[in-house]
Every structure is written in structure tokens, then in C-alpha cells.
């Protein structure tokens, strides 16, 4: 117990000395040991890395989970080392509502069938979103969080220790400076009042005491300088490791972009498949006055198709079962044909449609009575229906 009390008193004395030195530095009453410019640059880069890593981490969490309540819940589960329960994504919840609506409104009606198809696509989108969130959390968020909770805490601890070593060093410098000043004053020639032998003896004793105090202060200064240099080197090595952290975060960023690219590619493919399936439903869009606009073209092909000259054709009056036969016999109009660039690959659903390859040029025209979402496309001696949303009309 006696040892603990002595240690407690010693720690209190050191803390008080550091507090005095820190306060005097703030008021400009004490000198402060400055770090070299390279070390200051390392400190500034480390602080900047920490701040931006925190911002990127928080915003990525918002991107992956916009619901703040859900984020708080996941945070609490992680702190309690418990598994985060599986959560239904918004796309999957929308798919569930659409499927229930189709069941109640009639799954055999055109609206019900379309609801079921869209529900299936939304369910696939929700599953793709779930995979993206899982992959991004492991490959991107976890390394950033490990840096903040691991490496940065170590760096902060060593920086605080370096700050304490610097305060001890500057306190030793101030103590040595005061001891030397007192020693110089004690060794000065006494005035006329100090001519008696007793005063000479007292002056000599004081000089000897201050000599011992200077020797002790110099010894403490050497020890403090050694500890400061050692701690500065340890902290410097940790700060230089920030470069390795940047390399690791760069690799994680590439993984995040890769997972995000995969996610959006899956969503794009699911929606294209859905669009093809909806286009095959007979009469699904009959009577619509505002056909859907294409996603990637600045000029709406449907609007352009509506203004194209049309010519009468027997094919438009033919029964659906004979459309493919009559289509081959239809000659293109003398005027009104246009060139179009294919935006995406398209697989023909039947013999009445024309398969398309991205970036190829075809000739298109419209026939009276046709669905405004479709045109007649020709490539060489091949002819068939093509969806307008896959085209960019050129001339």
C-alpha cells in the first residue's frame, strides 16, 4: 500500500508539472519544443486521412442503409457482438405487395399478370441489393472501420504519449534554465554587507547547492531528451504507415466499385428482361396515350415515330397468327423510312421480331395501327418488329 501511495504521489506530481508547462505555453510564458516540418506534415496527413475516412464511412452507410433507425439497430447489434437479423429490402417488400395485389385483383387479368411479372423483377432487384450491401460491407466498410477502431487508436495513443514526453522535456529545460540562473546569482561577488565571514560561508553553501541542482537538472534533461527521441521515432513510424493505409483503402475502393458495377448491371439486366416480357403481353399497352420514354436517348424515339409518315398496309389488318407471314410481303414505304442506331442487344421473342445487336444501324418505319412502342426494322433481307426503346433514331 505504501508503494502504491508513493506511485500515486509521483504520478500526481508529474501531471501537475505537465499541466503547469502546458498552461505556461498557452500564455506564452514558456518555450515549446517544435517538431520538424516533415513530422508536422505526417501529422496533418494522418488527421486528414482520419477525418475523411470517417465521412466516407458514414456516407457509405447511409447509401447502403438510408433508414437511420435501422443503422442504429445494426450498430447496437455489432457492439453487443450479436448477429444482425436479416432485413427485407424495399424491393422485396414492394414485390410482396404487388404479388398480394395481383392475387386479390385477379392474377388472370392483364393488370394482374403484369403485377406478377413486375413483382418477380422487383424481388430479383431486392435480392441483388441484398448481395450488394453484403459485399460492400465486407470489402469496403469493414476495412475502413478497422482502421478507425484499430490503427488510428494506436496512432492517437502514441501521439498523446509523445505530447507528454515533450511536456516533460520542456519542463526539464525550464528547470535547468532556472537552476543555472540561480547558480549564477549565487556565485556573484557579495556586496559590502556580506563582508563578514558568516556571509561568505552562507554564499559558498548556496552556490554548492545550486551546483548540485544544475547537475540534477542536466541529468533529468538527458533522460527526458532520450525518451522524447525514442517516442518521436515510434510515432513517426506509425504515421509513415498511413501510406500503406492509403494503398489498402485504394484496393478496397476498387472492390466497392466492382460490387456496385455488378449490382447495377444485374438491375439493368432484370429490367431489360422485364421490359421484353411486358412487350410480349398482348394488349398490355393498348389505349395508352403517353408511351414510355427510352432511358438513354435524349430524343424520344416514340415521339419521333409518331411523326413519321405511314403508309397503308394489309399486314396491319391481318390476324395475329398471320402477322409474321404478311410482314415479309410488306414493302417499305417510298418515303418515311429512317435510320436508327441500336442501343442494346435484343433477342427476338418469335419470328415476327428482328434480333438486334448494340451499335448496329438498321432502317425503320412505322405502319398504321401498330403499337407506338414498336417499329418495323430492316437489316439486309431480314425484316421484323423492333422495340422503340432499344433505338436511337438518326434521320
pLDDT of the residue at 172: 87
Instruction: Find, among 350, 383, 372, 210, the residue nearest to 293 by Cα.
Output: 372
Residue 39 predicted with pLDDT over 60? yes
- pLDDT tens-digit profile of 340-367? 989 888 888 888 899 998 889 999 988 8
Domains (range + CATH), the chain: 10-187+213-280 (1.20.1270.60), 337-394 (2.30.30.40)
Average pLDDT, the chain: 79
Highest mean pLDDT among 9-18, 189-198, 378-387: 378-387
Q: Residue 261: which pLDDT band, with cuts at 50, 70 and 90?
A: very high
pLDDT of the residue at 289: 39
Q: Residue 299: which pLDDT band, with cuts at 50, 70 and 90?
A: very low
pLDDT of the residue at 393: 86
Compute the average pLDDT of residues 219-235: 91
Compute the average pLDDT of residues 9-17: 64
Q: Residue 390: which pLDDT band, with cuts at 50, 70 and 90?
A: confident
pLDDT of the residue at 241: 94
The whole model's pTM is what?
Answer: 0.61
pLDDT of the residue at 319: 41
Residue 11 predicted with pLDDT over 80? no
pLDDT of the residue at 184: 73
- pLDDT tens-digit profile of 302-315? 444 334 444 333 33
- pLDDT tens-digit profile of 241-251? 999 999 999 99
Interstrand relation of 382-387 and 391-393 (parallel, antiparallel or unpaired): unpaired
- pLDDT tens-digit profile of 143-197? 999 999 999 999 999 999 998 998 888 888 888 888 777 767 766 655 445 555 5
pLDDT of the residue at 192: 45
376 versus 15: the higher-pLDDT residue is 376
Residue 211 predicted with pLDDT over 60? yes
Residue 64 predicted with pLDDT over 50? yes
Amino acid at each position: 500500500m505504501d508503494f502504491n501511495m508513493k506511485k500515486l504521489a509521483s504520478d500526481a506530481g508529474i501531471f501537475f508539472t505537465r499541466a503547469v508547462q502546458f498552461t505556461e505555453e498557452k500564455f506564452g510564458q514558456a518555450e515549446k519544443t517544435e517538431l520538424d516540418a516533415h513530422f508536422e506534415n505526417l501529422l496533418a496527413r494522418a488527421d486528414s486521412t482520419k477525418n475523411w475516412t470517417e465521412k466516407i464511412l458514414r456516407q457509405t452507410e447511409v447509401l447502403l442503409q438510408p433508414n437511420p433507425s435501422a443503422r442504429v439497430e445494426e450498430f447496437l447489434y455489432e457492439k453487443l457482438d450479436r448477429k444482425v437479423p436479416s432485413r427485407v429490402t424495399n424491393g422485396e417488400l414492394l414485390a410482396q405487395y404487388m404479388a398480394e395485389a395481383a392475387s386479390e385483383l385477379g392474377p388472370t387479368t392483364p393488370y394482374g399478370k403484369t403485377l406478377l411479372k413486375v413483382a418477380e423483377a422487383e424481388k430479383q432487384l431486392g435480392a441483388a441489393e441484398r448481395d450488394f450491401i453484403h459485399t460492400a460491407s465486407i470489402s469496403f466498410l469493414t476495412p475502413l472501420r478497422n482502421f478507425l477502431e484499430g490503427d488510428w487508436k494506436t496512432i492517437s495513443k502514441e501521439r498523446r504519449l509523445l505530447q507528454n514526453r515533450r511536456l516533460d522535456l520542456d519542463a526539464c529545460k525550464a528547470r535547468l534554465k532556472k537552476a543555472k540562473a540561480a547558480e549564477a546569482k549565487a556565485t556573484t561577488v557579495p556586496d559590502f554587507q556580506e563582508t563578514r565571514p558568516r556571509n561568505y560561508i552562507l554564499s559558498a553553501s548556496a552556490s554548492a547547492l545550486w551546483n548540485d541542482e544544475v547537475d540534477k537538472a542536466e541529468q533529468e534533461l538527458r533522460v527526458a531528451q532520450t525518451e522524447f527521441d525514442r517516442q518521436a521515432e515510434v510515432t513517426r513510424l506509425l504515421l509513415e504507415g498511413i501510406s500503406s493505409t492509403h494503398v489498402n483503402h485504394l484496393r478496397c475502393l476498387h472492390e466497392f466499385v466492382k460490387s456496385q458495377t455488378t449490382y447495377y448491371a444485374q438491375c439493368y439486366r432484370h429490367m431489360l428482361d422485364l421490359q421484353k416480357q411486358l412487350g410480349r403481353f398482348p394488349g398490355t399497352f393498348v389505349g395508352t396515350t403517353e408511351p414510355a420514354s427510352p432511358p438513354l436517348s435524349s430524343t424520344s424515339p416514340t415521339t419521333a415515330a409518331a411523326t413519321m409518315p405511314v403508309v397503308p398496309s394489309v399486314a396491319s389488318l391481318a390476324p395475329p397468327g398471320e402477322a409474321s407471314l404478311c410482314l415479309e410481303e410488306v414493302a417499305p414505304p417510298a418515303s418515311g423510312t429512317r435510320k436508327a442506331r441500336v442501343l442494346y442487344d435484343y433477342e427476338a421473342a418469335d419470328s415476327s421480331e428482328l434480333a438486334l445487336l448494340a451499335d448496329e444501324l438498321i432502317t425503320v418505319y412505322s405502319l398504321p395501327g401498330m403499337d407506338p412502342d414498336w417499329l418495323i426494322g430492316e437489316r439486309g433481307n431480314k425484316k421484323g418488329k423492333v422495340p422503340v426503346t432499344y433505338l436511337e433514331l438518326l434521320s
